[in-house]
Amino acid sequence: MIERLAVGAYRGAMTAATAAAGLASRLPGAPARWQALGARLGRLSDDERALASGAPAVWLHAASVGELNAARPLLRRLRERFAERLCVVSTLTHTGLALARQSPEAHLALLLPLDAPGTVRRLLAHFQLEAFLFTETEIWPTLLAELAARGVPTFMVSGRLGPGTMRHARWLRPLYRHALACVDCCMQSEEDAQRILALGADPRRVQVAGSLKFDAAAADPPPDVLRLAAALGVRRMIVAGSTHQGEDELVLEAFRRVAAGRADLTLLLAPRHPERLAAVADLVRAAGFSLARYSELATVGEGRAPEVILLDVVGPLAHCYALGLIAFVGGSLVPVGGHNVLEPARAGRPVLVGPHTEHAADTVERLVAGGAALRVGSAESLAWALAGLLDEPVRMADMGRRARALVEGGQGAVERHLKIIAARLSMTRFARAAG
Rounded to whole angstroms, the Cα distance separating 150 from 144 reads 10
Helix/strand/coil for 86: strand
Instruction: Give the helix, strand, coil percentages of the chain, each rounded to 5.
Output: 55, 15, 30
Report CA 338 to chain centroid distance, whole Å: 11
DSSP per-residue codes, 162-219 = -HHHHHHHGGGHHHHHHHHTTEEEEESSHHHHHHHHHTT--GGGEEE---GGGG---P
Has residue 435 got a pLDDT over 70?
Answer: no
User: Per-residue pLDDT averaged across 256-269, rounded?
Assistant: 95
With beta carbons less than 8 A apart as the criterion, state whether 122 and 43 touch.
Answer: yes
Q: What percent of the chain has a predicted confidence (pLDDT) above 90?
A: 63
Has residue 309 got a pLDDT over 70?
Answer: yes
Name the region of 262 (left: φ>0; alpha: ψ -120 to 50; beta: rest): beta
67 is catalytic: yes
DSSP per-residue codes, 339-373 = ---HHHHHTT--EEE-S--GGGHHHHHHHHHTTSE
Q: In the sheet that 86-91 helps form, which strands lie side by side, from edge to edge? A: 108-111, 86-91, 56-61, 128-135, 154-159, 183-187, 206-208
Q: What is the pLDDT of residue 388?
A: 97
Q: What is the pLDDT of residue 217?
A: 66
User: Per-residue pLDDT averaged across 166-177, rounded?
Assistant: 76
CB-based burial of residue 36 (10 Å sphere; 0-12 exposed, 13-18 middle, 19+ buried)? middle
Report CA 378 to chain centroid distance, whole Å: 25
Has residue 381 got a pLDDT over 90?
Answer: yes
CB atoms closer than 10 angstroms to residue 356: 19
pLDDT (tens digit per residue) in 69-89 = 889 999 999 988 888 899 999
Q: What is the pLDDT of residue 55?
A: 84
User: Per-residue pLDDT averaged across 321-347, rounded?
Assistant: 95
Of residues 416 and 434, the one with the higher pLDDT is 416
Query: Phi and psi dihedrals of 48, rounded to 5?
Result: -70, -40
Among residues 67, 105, 136, 247, the one annotated as catalytic is 67
Model confidence band, residue 298 (pLDDT cutoffs 50, 70, 90): low
What's the whole-number average pLDDT of the chain? 90
Q: What is the pLDDT of residue 299?
A: 67
- The number of residues in the chain equals 435
Has residue 431 got a pLDDT over 90?
Answer: no
Residues 6+ apart with CB under 8 A from 353: 328, 329, 332, 338, 341, 364, 373, 374, 375, 376
Model confidence band, residue 301 (pLDDT cutoffs 50, 70, 90): low
Torsional sign, CA 256, 373, 138, 74:
positive
Rounded to whole angstroms, the Cα distance separating 348 from 367 reads 12
Has residue 304 got a pLDDT over 80?
Answer: no
Q: What is the pLDDT of residue 265?
A: 97
Report the first-to-last Cα separation within the chain, whole angstroms. Answer: 32
